[in-house]
Structures are given as structure tokens and as C-alpha cells.
Amino acid sequence: MTQKQSDQGKSGSSGKGAEQGGKGGGGGSGREEPSPIDVQKSLKGIDFPATKDDILSRARDGGASEEIMAELEQLPERDYDSPAEISRELGKLH
């Protein structure tokens, strides 16, 4: 058994505990930020340009998690021309 495997065994998991937003690590706001991929999945089928309201509505209809909705609600009120623009804006919030 390697040292890494031994350390993982101590946590009682398959090594994913630290990656899944447990206490410690990363710092930040205390809640885990959704990945850009998860955000884009929740917006599948949206037409661009899209307003903030369009984005929130599509995400809600797409079954977005509370974390994703909380992130999208922070977007500035404006038109977005692509998924990349949404990701860039979300990146500026952190």
C-alpha cells in the first residue's frame, strides 16, 4: 500500500472526500462553486442572445441546483451572446 492509499484509507472514503467540498481546503465562501460544465448543462437549449431572465428561466427549467441558481442570480442584468460570456461573467464574481 502506498502512502497515498494509506492516507485515503484513513479518511474512510475512496479519496474523494476532500474533492467534494468537505471542511477545509480551498478557502472561499464556504460553499462549493458549481463547475462551468454543470452551469452550461443546466442551460442546454438556450437561444442567444439571452437576457439574465432568460438564463435564469432556462436554468430553472433545466433542473439547475440551488448552487447554480445562486451563481446565475449574481449575473449583471444584460444580454449575453454565448455560453462563454456567461462563464466569463461568473468567473469575475470569484
Which conformational region is residue 46 in: left (phi greater than 0), alpha (psi within -120 to 50 degrees), or beta? beta
pLDDT (tens digit, 9 = 90+) per residue, 33-80?
A: 899 999 999 999 999 999 999 999 999 999 999 999 999 999 999 999
The answer for residues whose C-beta is within 8 angstroms of residue 91's C-beta and 6 or more apart is none
Rounded to two decimals, the pTM is: 0.66
Domain boundaries, the chain: 32-94
Give yes or no for residue 26 having a pLDDT over 60: no
Helices and strands in the chain, H and E counts: 5, 2
Name the pLDDT band for 31 (thresholds 50, 70, 90). low
